[in-house]
Amino acid sequence: MNNKIKLGIAVIAIAAVGVGGFAAYAHIRNKNGMSDMNRERPLTEAVTRNSLTNTITASGSVLLEDEIEVYAEGETNIIKTILVEEGDTVKAGDLLVEYDVEDRKEELEKQIRDTEREIENTQLSLKSMTAPTSDTELSKLKSTVASKEKALQDANTTYNSYDSKLSTQQTAIDNAKQDVNDAEKEVSDLEQLLAVGGATQNEYDTAVTAAKKANDQLTEAQQAYDDLVTERDNAKLGITTAQNDVTDAKNALKDAQTVLGDTQSKTQYEQTQLTLKGLQDNLADYKKDLNELVYSTSSTVDGKVTEVCVDEGTYTEENTVILKVADFNRLIVSANIEEYDAPLLELGQKVVMTSDGLEGKEYTGSITRINDSALAATTNMGSETAVPVEISVDNPDDVLKPGYNLDLEITVLDKPDILTVSSGAVRKDAKSGKSYVFVSDGTKLSQREVTTGEENDTVIEIASGLSEGEEVLSSVSDNIKDGMTLEEIREQNNNAVNTGEQKTDNDRTENDMMRGGMMGNDPNRRANQGVPSGGPGGGGFGGGRPMG
């Protein structure tokens, strides 16, 4: 075997020994270190009182809290004079604008005068409707009643007189009928005599003429009777007319004796009353408009005029914004809170605010408004869903200005003086959903149900089930059972650590051997990877100190 081959074998042997020695040392050191750490780390902890605090961060912009829009007053006005300019400082009560209201004032005054006259005339009409009838008028009405009653009496007398007239006429009809019968018999007898020569033609003709005359008289008598019947019927209608006249006359007298005695008068009176009420309402409105006539508008706050929105001569209505005034001492911070943090927000939560541009300064405030709806907010990372909030801010040094950007730290949870344990000490039963801990008496563990409250990344609130000072197992796993001893827990932990260490040592040894085999013939590669070169008395594989 030549020298080169011997040298190669020697290098490989040395490398193998070096890897084994390093792995053995690392295993011993790691095992000792882990064992020491597990022996020193306590298995239990005491239930203690702490303050539980959670915060979220955001950024916001300083805005004016009260930029008041000053609206025009009155239904319709004309801006006569604007008394301030943008940037002017005003105090509450200072005049801002004056209005030109002279034409409106004259119009209202005329409407008041006209309406007062109409009211007076309407009141006179109502008075006349309720005034009693004069004695003269009553006498006339009474005379009318008497006259109508006399006419009714005469109508009755006239009607009753037709009974005798009709009786007399009936007698005349009966006599005429008898005369007709006699005349017709005479004609019949003479006609027979004429036939035998017992009467002359002249006698017969005379009898025929007499019979015709008798029939005519009967017809006249019957016509006269019919005429009397018609007159009697008319007389009866006259009675009805006379009775109605008497009724009307008596009603007129009664109405005259009683104020608003008929339906028509009552209706007219009520209509006139409604007219009067409408006029009185109109008058009240006109007077109110006159009294409320606005000659000027004043500021309601101390502040600065931030904008003048109208010009002189502008027609305005009640919803016209004429000026904007802001109090620069009253500021708010507007921020958008990510949708993941928004459910934690509540009104009144404390906020601490800082700014890179205001080094050393810290401002405080609280949440005063949480928007009901979320919106899409644009950030440096893109678009995200956020909930807008408003935050009050104390500005005692008057340094903050509208438009400044601030970093916000919002305290969403602050519960002082509560019982807490480590988050790992609490376990939740998968079936019942109830939480439990393992309480230690110094030797043995007992499982106990607890009620939890708020929590953060490290601790959890114990609302009930534990008392301050009690010892509980700090870290609970599925392997922990009710009634186990602390010694069993330690043994269980040590076994888990040894198993993990053995696996770790095996993996490390295998890796080191691979690295040794690959790098044994490549000193440059060892140098590049930070592995010390071998040699007597120096650090490296197989000799000196192991690589740390």
CATH topology classification for 66-101+294-326? OB fold (Dihydrolipoamide Acetyltransferase, E2P) (2.40.50)
Q: In which band, very low, low, confident or very high, does the pLDDT at 302 lie, cut at 50, 70 and 90? A: confident
| Owner of token pair 């005692």 | 396
pTM of the complete model: 0.42
Extents of the domains making up the chain: 1-43+490-548, 57-63+330-473, 66-101+294-326, 135-258
Sheet holding 315-317, edge to edge: 296-298, 95-99, 76-82, 315-317
Phi and psi dihedrals of 367, rounded to 5?
Answer: -70, 125
Query: For the segment 373-403, what is each residue's pLDDT rounded down to a tens digit?
Result: 999 877 667 788 999 999 999 888 888 888 9
Residue type, 415: K
Average pLDDT in the 82-109 region? 90
CATH topology classification for 57-63+330-473? Elongation Factor Tu (Ef-tu); domain 3 (2.40.30)
Q: What is the CATH number of domain 135-258?
A: 1.10.287
DSSP H/E element including 40: helix 3-40
Query: For the segment 192-201, what is each residue's pLDDT rounded down to a tens digit?
Result: 998 888 889 9
Q: In which band, very low, low, confident or very high, does the pLDDT at 527 lie, cut at 50, 70 and 90? A: very low
- Within 13 Å and on the Cβ side, how many CA atoms surround 240? 5
Contact 298, 90 (CB under 8 A): no
Query: For the segment 98-144, what is each residue's pLDDT rounded down to a tens digit?
Result: 999 888 899 999 999 999 999 999 999 988 888 887 888 889 989 99
* Whether the predicted pLDDT of 273 surpasses 80: yes
Query: For the segment 445-502, what is each residue's pLDDT rounded down to a tens digit?
Result: 999 999 999 988 889 999 999 999 999 999 998 889 999 999 999 988 888 777 766 6
Q: In which band, very low, low, confident or very high, does the pLDDT at 507 lie, cut at 50, 70 and 90? A: low
Residue type, 170: Q
**DSSP code per residue over 212-276:** HHHHHHHHHHHHHHHHHHHHHHHHHHHHHHHHHHHHHHHHHHHHHHSTT-SHHHHHHHHHHHHHH
Query: For the segment 20-31, what is each residue's pLDDT rounded down to a tens digit?
Result: 333 333 343 444
pLDDT of residue 18: 39
pLDDT of residue 542: 34
Q: How far is CA 358 from CA 57, 362, 366, 401, 423, in A?
A: 18, 8, 20, 12, 38
Q: In which band, very low, low, confident or very high, does the pLDDT at 528 lie, cut at 50, 70 and 90? A: very low
The SS3 of residue 317 is: strand
pLDDT of residue 234: 94
* Whether the predicted pLDDT of 168 surpasses 80: yes
**DSSP code per residue over 421-447:** EEGGG-EE-TTT--EEEEEESSSBEEE
What is the rounded CA–CA span in Å between residue 163 and residue 160?
6
User: Is the C-alpha dihedral spanning 256, 261, 262, 264 positive or negative?
Assistant: positive
The SS3 of residue 195 is: helix
* Whether the predicted pLDDT of 150 surpasses 70: yes
